[in-house]
Amino acid sequence: MKMEISDNRIISIFVPESELTERGYDQNNHEATLSLLNHLIDEALLFAESTQDFPAMDMPSRTEVAFIPSQGMYITITLLENQEETTDGEQTVILEQEDSLFVFPDFEDLTRCAAKMPERLRKSGKLYVYNATYVVILSKSDFSMEDDYQLVASIVAEYATRQVDTTSVVVNTYGKVLFEKEAFLEIARLFPC
């Protein structure tokens, strides 16, 4: 595990895929992945606090995680100045594939999600009806920056459930397309909250 501390506020961690495998990482076991992730974050915070006088345990923080196949896991922990900087109900979402699927049980959740999303990030998402639910497919290729992709996924995760049992190929084949592209932009335009 490689770790870098900058501005006494941000910890950047990289865990190569070989080390993740040694630690028991299994991308198909979400519960085990979260447990490993929590362990890695605790390990980094304790190390930073004991060696760098890093006040990690006393302050709120935001954690962002990205797994890149054949490379490893990138984790960024940012200490926040105060509680107001945190977003209520914010979740960490681990995105591993080029496409990530999110299931919305209700269209109203989609409209609220689109309304909450920053306007510059709404030009993303494909929307389908599949198995009596609404499925949004987020593609990394829709974003010029990895951070934007992670931010959109975190917002979407507040309103939807990450779908790991179904692939985008299945949804493309058997689902009905509602918006081929820029789904959040179209939803916000057509159904303003």
DSSP-derived secondary structure letter, 163:
E
24-72 pLDDT, tens digit per residue, is: 887 777 777 778 888 888 887 777 777 666 665 566 777 778 777 778 8
Cα distances (Å, whole numbers) of residue 3 to 13, 16, 47, 179: 4, 12, 10, 41
Paired tokens of 57: 């345990």
Dist CA 186 CA 190 (whole Å): 6
Residue 97 pLDDT grade (very low, low, confident, very high; cuts 50, 70, 90): low
- For the chain, residues classed under CATH 3.30.70.1950 are 99-190
Dist CA 19 CA 21 (whole Å): 5
CATH number of 99-190: 3.30.70.1950
Q: What pLDDT score was predicted for residue 116?
A: 92
- Prediction pTM value: 0.50
